[in-house]
Amino acid sequence: MTTKNTQESGLLRKAKILFASGHLERSIEIFTIAESNGSGSVDLWLSRGAAQMALGNYNEAKEDFSRVLSEDTRNERAHYYRGLALVALGEYEDGITDLTSSLMQNNNRGIAHLVRGLAYAELGQESDAVLDINSASAFSDAEISSFKKLFGNHSGPFQNTKAMLAEENAPWNNLLSQDSAKKLRNLLQ
């Protein structure tokens, strides 16, 4: 391994440690330095994109996950995270497409079901929204609650969903299980 490869490897390791320890901004800086030194890799972009997501920098996250998908079109994690970023940006159709790609490879992502359901609701596609929200409800409360970490301070994209939930006699409210409706109301407050 050359000195340059060793340095790049060390930068990536340092950035990952910073990310894992919650130093998100600093990890992004180190990931970016590693990239500028020639270390453009799927692993770097996935990690930096995840840090960007955690900070609510959805445009930057979308860019990193798009880079991953330009190298590996079937990368399930990149489809998942980019789908989340797209929905947060209000790009619901594209978000649904990415989340569907992710779920086709890994149907056990409760958050993907939930966020895709919210995107469907925002587009007025109530029957699809109900199916996904009920599916999401079957997953652990801990996973569903992690939604708040992704969108907690950015609930703006889900105004149509909140309005639909507020309608007492809305048809889709009768199709949601009581548990699903309650969880959804709590998440969007």
pLDDT at 123: 94
Q: Write the pLDDT tens digit of every residue in 77-111.
A: 999 999 999 999 999 999 999 999 999 999 888 88
Q: 125-163, pLDDT tens digit by residue? A: 988 988 888 888 777 565 666 666 666 655 556 666 766
pLDDT number for residue 138: 73
Is 189 a residue whose pLDDT tops 80? no
Average pLDDT, the chain: 83
The dihedrals phi and psi of 21, each to the nearest 5 degrees, come to -90, 5
- What's the confidence (pLDDT) of residue 111? 87
User: What confidence score (pLDDT) does residue 156 get?
Assistant: 59
**From 4-18, 69-83, 153-167, the region with the lowest mean pLDDT:** 153-167
